[in-house]
Chains A and B, each alone.
Chain A
Amino acid sequence: MSTQRPLTVTEISGYIKTLLDKDEILSQVAVAGELSNYKIHSTGHHYFTLKDDGAVISAVMFRAEAGRLKFRPESGMKVILYGRVSSFPRSGQYQIYVSHMQPDGVGALYVAFEQLKAKLQAEGLFAKSHKKPLPPFPGRVALVTSPTGAAVRDMIRILGRRFPACEVLVCPVKVQGEGAAEEIAAMIRYVDAHKLADVIITGRGGGSIEDLWAFNEEIVARAIYECELPVISAVGHEPDITISDYVADVRAATPSNAAELAVYDAAELKTRLRNAYSRIYQSEARIIGEKGQRLAEIKRKRILSEPEAYLTDRRMYLELLRQKMEAAEAKRLSLLRERFAAVAATMDAISPLKVIKRGYSIAESGGRIIRSTDEVAAGDRVDVRLTDGRLLCVVENKVKEG
Chain B
Amino acid sequence: MADKFVFEKAMKRLEEIVSLLEKGDATLESSLMLFEEGTSLIRGCSAALDNAQQKLKILTVGENGPEESDFEGKE
B-binding residues in A (CB < 8 A): 135-140, 142, 147-148, 152-153, 156-157, 159-160, 163-172, 190-191, 194, 196, 198, 266, 269-270, 273, 276-277, 279-281, 283-284, 286-288, 290-291
Contact = CB atoms under 8 A, between A and B. Distances in A.
B66 A196 contact: yes
A164 B56 CA distance: 10
Interface in B4-23: 4-5, 7-8, 11, 14-15, 17-18, 21-22
Contacts, number: 134
Contacts of B61: 190
Contacts of B42: 273, 276-277
Contact of B46 (A135, A147, A273, A284): A273
Contacts of A165: 3-4, 7, 48-49, 52
Interface string B51-75: 0111111110100011010010111
Contact of B54 (A147, A164, A277): A164
Nearest to B4: A139
A172 to B, nearest CB: 7
**Which 8 A-B residue pairings sit nearest by Cβ, starting from the closest?**
A139-B4, A283-B21, A165-B52, A160-B54, A164-B52, A137-B8, A139-B1, A167-B55
Contacts of B18: 276, 279-280, 283
Contact of B56 (A138, A170, A283, A287): A170
Contacts of A279: 18, 21-22
Contacts of B45: 269, 273
Contacts of A283: 18, 21-22, 24, 31, 35
Contacts of B59: 142, 169-172, 191, 196
A273 B18 CA distance: 11
Contact of A137 (B7, B28, B38): B7
B30 to A, nearest CB: 10
18 contacts: A136-B11, A139-B3, A139-B7, A147-B73, A148-B73, A153-B75, A156-B56, A167-B54, A169-B58, A171-B58, A194-B65, A196-B59, A277-B38, A280-B18, A280-B39, A283-B35, A287-B26, A290-B24
A169 B73 contact: no
A194 to B, nearest CB: 5
A279 B21 CA distance: 8
Given A172-B58, A191-B59, A280-B17, A287 B28 contact: yes
Contacts of A140: 1, 4
Contact of A284 (B14, B35, B52, B75): B35
B73 A152 contact: yes
Contact of A291 (B2, B15, B28, B66): B28
A157 B73 CA distance: 11
Contacts of A276: 14-15, 18, 38, 42
B35 A280 contact: yes
Given A147-B73, A276-B38, A280-B38, A266 B32 contact: no
Residue among A147, A165, A196, A266 with max Cβ neighbours from chain B (10 Å): A165
A314 B1 CA distance: 68
A169 B57 contact: yes
A168 B35 contact: no
A291 to B, nearest CB: 5
A280 B1 contact: no
Contacts of B57: 167-170
Contacts of B52: 163-165, 266
Contact of A138 (B4, B15, B35, B54): B4
A172 B15 CA distance: 37
Contacts of A160: 54, 56
A135 B53 CA distance: 20
Considering residues A153, A160, A163, A167, which has the most beta carbons from chain B within 10 angstroms of its beta carbon? Answer: A167
